Chain A
Amino acid sequence: MTYLKRSPWIIHYDASSCNGCDIEVLACLTPMYDVERFGIVNTGNPKHADIFVVTGSINEQNREVVKNIYEQMPDPKVVVAVGICAASGGVFRECYNVTGGIDKIIPVDVYVPGCAARPESIIDGIVKSLSILEEKRTKMNTPAAKKDALGGGIQ
């Protein structure tokens, strides 16, 4: 029996999103979609979160921030990139300061397509990420991984 899948807490970070995707992420919390049905809570605190939901692309301003938030999250954790910007840079990819998608900086587990991504597909993406989260937890508890954690620790 695992509880991880029943209680995913997310942290939402707006990288250089145009705000379109953010509105859709927030729409998931409204009575219309009500993600708390699945136990999903928007914590706003990386240390409590299991899922890192990022909208928008990486640029010079936010690359450190994204890395920082990711490193502050306790294992197991997954990253969901919401919107085309977060996947590849989208319409902004040619901009002088844009590096590209989120996966340029941190490993991304689920890409949610769309510009802007629809609330239904965001919820779908988060639900998909739950099985990856579960996989990571099982891997975390293998003896080899435990030894690794003792030796390496978190940076």
Chain B
Amino acid sequence: MMSPVYGLIYILLAPIAGGLVAGIDRKITARMQGRVGPPLLQPFYDVGKLFEKENLVVTRSQDLYALCYLVFMLVAGALFFAGGDLLLVIFAFTLSHIFLVLGAYASSSPYSFIGAERELIQIIAYEPMIILSAVGMYMVTASFFVSDIVVSSIPIVLYLPGVFIGFLMVLTIKLRKSPFDLSTSHHAHQEIVKGVTTEFTGPNLGKIEIAHWYEYVFLLGFIFLFFAFSIPIALLAIAVAYLLEILIDNTFSRVKWQFTLRSAWIIAGMLGLINLAVLYYLSGGLQA
């Protein structure tokens, strides 16, 4: 029951939506800090400019890795919106980040090395929770296919409150928000310059930026699944979740990677696992 049309719509419209989300994010952040902030379309200007710049690379393989990051992010999101298998989506999603890490490792710069290592740690931190979310959705709807999950009338979030909280937590990591903006950050240039993206210039950085926009839309789409029974509630939940992320971003300072890993696994993992165990017990095992 996959519909490639939605995948295509995602490929065409997600950069616009993602860029707008990034613009709103910067605007609200500025207002929270008592500033006027950049124009709403600033992220588009930034990326437009990056493509006007010279492409300086340490090795040519960086071009390939940046492109692969974008392409696999596109594949993951398109599969998701086309209603594909959640596990496959998560696999492509992780793979795209591996390419980003490889790109950072390819340039022998200490800052991008630190960034790459931290990015790997972040992947380790959020990966279990994302898989748990997929498993939870399977337990509730008896399907790994997004197309089935999205049409089910069961209020998934009521069955998976722990998983949802855990997912919100890894969302902070995924959106590169404080306190978990370890691998690359707009605020950390005193210590790691730009982390993973340090050695990417001009068009390559532009591609990474666009991949981030795709990622934003994909992640917000994942929140949608929890509330798929009612579209207005789902949209409201997405807006509230994102505002919460901006608020968290502006109120917390960056933590160490040890804390990131521990909190992501212990808090999110335990909430998720207990949630799934209770669900399993109440439903008397898997009926499917």
Which residues does A use to contact B, with CB under 8 Å? 2-4, 6-7, 31, 34, 36-39, 41-45, 47-48, 50, 72, 74-76, 137, 140, 149, 154
Contacts and interface: CB of A to CB of B under 8 A. Distances in A.
- CB-CB nearest 9 A-B residue pairs: A44-B189, A3-B48, A3-B49, A6-B45, A74-B54, A7-B49, A34-B35, A31-B34, A75-B54
Nearest to B26: A36
A17 B46 CA distance: 30
B37 interface: yes
Contacts of A140: 54
Contacts of B132: none
Contact of B39 (A2, A39, A45, A137): A39
A45 B194 contact: yes
B42 A74 contact: no
Given A43-B189, A44-B193, A2 B52 contact: yes
Contacts of B26: 36
Interface stretch (B10-18, B90-98, B197-205, B230-238): B197-205
13 contacts: A3-B44, A6-B42, A6-B48, A31-B34, A36-B26, A36-B36, A36-B37, A44-B189, A44-B193, A48-B201, A48-B205, A74-B56, A76-B54
Interface of B: 26, 30, 33-39, 42, 44-49, 52-56, 186, 189-190, 193-194, 197-202, 205
Nearest to A47: B201
Contacts of A137: 52
Contacts of B33: 31
Contact of A74 (B45, B194, B201): B201
A3 B201 CA distance: 16
Contact of A45 (B48, B53, B189): B189
A137 B49 CA distance: 11
Contacts of B46: 3, 7, 39
Given A2-B52, A3-B49, A39-B46, A48 B38 contact: no
B45 A3 contact: yes
A48 B194 contact: yes
Contacts of A3: 44-49, 52
A74 B35 contact: no
Contacts of B30: 34, 36
Nearest to B188: A44
A34 B202 contact: no
Given A3-B49, A74-B55, 20 more contacts: A7-B42, A31-B34, A31-B35, A34-B37, A37-B35, A37-B38, A38-B38, A43-B189, A44-B193, A45-B189, A45-B198, A47-B198, A47-B199, A47-B201, A48-B197, A48-B201, A50-B49, A50-B53, A74-B53, A76-B54
